């Protein structure tokens, strides 16, 4: 199911993660998207995003989240959400991780929206600067 509005991206992401559907998660991103992993490391393009998200899905028991804000400028949107995930540790116990995101989404030629830039921990301080 495509995102018809920028805020749909958050709901669709949560639904796909909870279904452990990597292809559905990846369909929300542009092929040349850029993002950060939960440690602030830069991920460039579909291969790097798929590798990270595959690992994330493998340890995520559940994810919940809601859109905080959407700012539109033509075919570009700045969006943000709060999220909370239950993660299974290597020892088998569960921990809760949470954060506030910042993403840039772009309207596609068919009118749907996909993520171009994704930072799942935008409010965490990071020393890395993402450069093109």
pLDDT in tens, 60-77: 999 999 999 999 999 999
pLDDT at 128: 44
Q: Compute the residue count for the chain.
A: 132
Contact 32, 46 (CB under 8 A): yes
- Residue 115 burial class via C-beta count within 10 angstroms: exposed 0-12, middle 13-18, buried 19 and up: buried
When the pLDDT of each residue in the chain is averaged and rounded to a whole number, the result is: 91
pLDDT at 89: 87
Residue whose structure tokens are 């805020």 = 7
pLDDT at 125: 54
Stated as kind and residue range, the H or E segment containing 85 is strand 76-88
> How far, in Å, CA of 62 to CA of 5, rounded?
24
pLDDT at 132: 45
pLDDT band, very low/low/confident/very high, at 131 (cuts 50, 70, 90): very low
């Amino acid at each position: 199911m495509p995102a018809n509005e920028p805020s749909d991206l958050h709901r669709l992401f949560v639904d796909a993660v909870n279904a452990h559907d990597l292809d559905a998660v990846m369909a929300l991103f542009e092929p040349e998207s850029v993002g950060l992993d939960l440690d602030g490391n830069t991920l460039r393009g579909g291969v790097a995003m798929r590798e990270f998200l595959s690992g994330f899905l493998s340890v995520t028991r559940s994810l919940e989240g809601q859109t905080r804000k959407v700012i539109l400028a033509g075919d570009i949107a700045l969006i943000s959400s709060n999220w909370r995930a239950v993660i299974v540790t290597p020892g088998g116990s569960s921990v809760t991780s949470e954060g506030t995101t910042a993403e840039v989404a772009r309207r596609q030629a068919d009118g749907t929206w996909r993520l171009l830039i994704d930072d799942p921990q935008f409010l965490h301080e990071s020393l890395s600067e993402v450069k093109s």
